[in-house]
Structure 1
Amino acid sequence: MSAASALSLAGLGVLVVLTGHTLVNVGRWLRRPTPGPVEVTEAVTVLLPLRDEAARVTPCLRSLLAQRGVPGLRVVVLDDGSTDGTADVVRAVVGDDPRVILVTGNAPPPGWLGKPHACWQLADRADPSTTALVFVDADVVLDRYAVAAAVTELRAAGATLLSPYPEIVVRTAADRLVQPLLQWLWLTFLPLRAMERSPRPSLAAAGGQFLVVDRAGYLRAGGHAAVADRVLEDIELARAVKRSGGRIALADGSRLATCRMYDDWPQLRDGYTKSLWASFGHPLAAAVVTILLLLLYTAPPLVAVGAVLAGAPVVAGLALSAYLLGVAGRVVSARATGGRAWPDALGHPVSVAVLGWLTVRSYHLRKRRRLSWRGRPVG
């Protein structure tokens, strides 16, 4: 066997394991909260931080006002220094609904980033009787039983924190290339069952767009004050919960909520750029992971074409099989989380290449202290 064949066979073996792991996660361990009529009896407060969200907060607010199955529902909205009339939009949509409180946030003090500080202020304003907190971003639109279903799943899982990932709405070519990687990455590389059972903070994932926490466990973990300076405050909060003895769980929330994260390519590019460096930590770790992803998912179609041209059918067949396994993993994760499988999955090698470029850009701009978001420096 030639060296090229041996390397291709080794890569194929790794992809068999990874795609098989995706299938196991989806088939056995992925939680799927029921979106149908369900009711909870405990007091729940939804917390909505807003900064310059006038153009897109209305659908989110209307979906919150339309919630069912939570008789004790309260909503606290925080205007975090908006300059675009966000507070006026909130008042116009909410009217005199007694369930909703609009508060004006304070600027983050030294050592705090904007999002953790806003969330910490919101948690402090929750109704005293509240036993479950639900953090929602302005770009999320909830099904009318979403809050009740998510809280029910939190209690059924015996967890302190539940992250029901919304369906990510994709409309542009950039969306379709990059956004599905969110769910694909954790379904492919994170052992969901072990994550729920293990106390190790390193085995943690969460999405801050829609996050449900037990209030007592949240405070025991230190709340967002424990992650005051963290760019990925959602994942760091999940780790803080684990460090305090709590449990976390992930769920497919695509039947409960939708999320349109970015409106265009510049927003998407800058949104990922501001936080990818924090996902990997040390630049060496980022380099190793990025190179491995490129070798496993981006190289196979290139190798297949090169092998055909070089008259190496065995290598071409192995490389083509590797490419198709990567596509299969993408299809499985998309179908499991309400995403678009075809034809987007065929471009998976390009998606991974774009992710690699965004990672390099993230570290480069951080080194030059040029990372910012919503007018505030990060990283």
Structure 2
Amino acid sequence: MIGLIALLPWLALAAHAAVNAVLLRRPPRGATTAERVAVLLPLRDEAHRVTPCLRALLAQTGVARLEVIALDDGSSDGTAEVVRAVAGDRIRLLTGAAPPPGWLGKPYACAQLADAAGDADVLVFVDADVVLAPDAVAGAVAALRAAEAQLLSPYPRITGAGRLVQPLLQWSWLTFLPLRAMERSSRPSLAAAGGQWLVADRAGYQRAGGHAAVRGEVLEDIALARAVKRAGGRIALADGSRLADCRMYASWRELSDGYAKSLWASFGSPAGAATVVLLLTLLYVAPPVAAAGFLAAGRPHAALWCGCAYLSGVAGRAVSAAATGGRIWPDPLAHPLSIVAFAALVGRSFVRRRRGLLSWRGRPLIGDLS
């Protein structure tokens, strides 16, 4: 009985992930909308991968009034030429201005795109590494309206490098974030979003201050979600894995650099980061290590309970994968290694921040280094 009681935290977290997986919003297939929709595509040195994204945007169906606007944000690799070659005049291509003081590059690019969207009812922000299904935009708009939200974040299916680490994003909010309570709550701190694909009600976006409200934020997606809440709006998460693929990183080096630029901003402080990493380590790394130690010490009963804690973590990871288009097997078995890799990336991010080495696409990142 004592062992079962001790196991309750792991069972509760796995059960919470399962409940969230059932409640998770899923954009409908084959939807249609008569609303005016602007798809907004910020681009900086994306010539090597933007073509599939462009072709997918040109193939959208179910949206009666759709405009696709791309912004070349100072690319040096011929991104604008690729856009013209693939899309011709079917996509409006803007030349972005350099970010003013206090602005980071992506928020300023998105702000320019939003300004160019005219009288669109819905703004759909998409990154160049996202490939949408033909009915994705219409489905996302339908999900936004069904949720009665001002900002919807449909998470795409993540592909590419980083099988150990990338699935932790969806797993973390399915495991620890009460989705329906988050939607109902007005607390800005209770928010999550993924910037690869964001769908915003234009009026709600403007009430929140748009990207000007998050001009200097490295994690502008989460900051925008919080701004929407502060303005009295509602946000929602959705599983977009049936409607979109996102190949974020092609190599572990790219992933490491990408995480380094932003992980430090996810926790509020080094102490907050240390607390989160310690908690995750105790929950998901310690049990299999302890199980091995107890077995070696000839204590199979204790090893059994530790093994059950480990398997509960594996079950939660598998539930998350099933709900978000990830690998159900065998990747969840390596969940403890995922936590160790994540901890290393967190440490690297803080080290690089302290040393003033953070940059992205050739631009330094603004941040208080105190």
TM-score computed with the length of structure 1 as normaliser: 0.95
Partner of 2:221: 234
1:101 aligns to 2:92 (yes or no): yes
Identity across the alignment (%)? 66
SS of corresponding position for 1:109: coil
SS of corresponding position for 2:60: coil
Of 326, 341, 345, which residue of structure 1 is paired with 2:332? 345
Q: 2:28, 2:142 within 8 Å by CA — same for their partners in 1?
A: no
Partner of 2:28: 34
1:113 aligns to 2:100 (yes or no): no
CA distance in 1 between partners of 2:8 and 2:261 (Å) = 34
SS of corresponding position for 2:94: strand
CA distance in 1 between partners of 2:328 and 2:60 (Å) = 30
Partner of 2:44: 51
Of 73, 85, 103, which residue of structure 1 is paired with 2:78? 85
Q: Work out the number of aligned pairs and report it.
A: 366
Q: CA deviation at 1:253?
A: 0.4
CA distance in 1 between partners of 2:11 and 2:104 (Å) = 41
1:250 aligns to 2:243 (yes or no): no
Partner of 2:144: 154
CA distance in 1 between partners of 2:6 and 2:257 (Å) = 32
Runs of 4+ in 1 over 6 A off after TM superposition: none
Q: 2:36, 2:65 within 8 Å by CA — same for their partners in 1?
A: yes
Q: CA deviation at 1:16?
A: 1.1
CA distance in 2 between partners of 1:360 and 1:66 (Å) = 42
Q: CA deviation at 1:311?
A: 1.1
CA distance in 2 between partners of 1:157 and 1:216 (Å) = 16
CA distance in 1 between partners of 2:14 and 2:208 (Å) = 34
Q: CA deviation at 1:367?
A: 1.0
Q: 1:11, 1:296 within 8 Å by CA — same for their partners in 2?
A: no
For residue 355 of structure 1, what is the amino acid of its counterpart? Answer: F
SS of corresponding position for 1:78: strand
SS of corresponding position for 2:276: helix
CA distance in 2 between partners of 1:374 and 1:40 (Å) = 36
- Closer/same/farther in 2, CA of residues 340 and 129 from structure 1, 3 Å limit: same
Partner of 1:70: 63
Q: 1:40, 1:69 within 8 Å by CA — same for their partners in 2?
A: yes
Q: 2:130, 2:244 within 8 Å by CA — same for their partners in 1?
A: yes
Q: CA deviation at 1:106?
A: 0.7
CA RMSD of aligned residues (A): 1.2
- Closer/same/farther in 2, CA of residues 70 and 304 from structure 1, 3 Å limit: same
1:142 aligns to 2:142 (yes or no): no
CA distance in 1 between partners of 2:281 and 2:363 (Å) = 32
Q: Which 5+ residue runs of structure 2 have no aligned equivalent?
A: none
CA distance in 1 between partners of 2:228 and 2:283 (Å) = 33
TM-score computed with the length of structure 2 as normaliser: 0.97
**Structure 1 residues 216-262: Cα deviation after superposition (integer angstroms, max 9, x where no partner):** 11010000000000000000000000000000000000011010000
SS of corresponding position for 1:77: strand
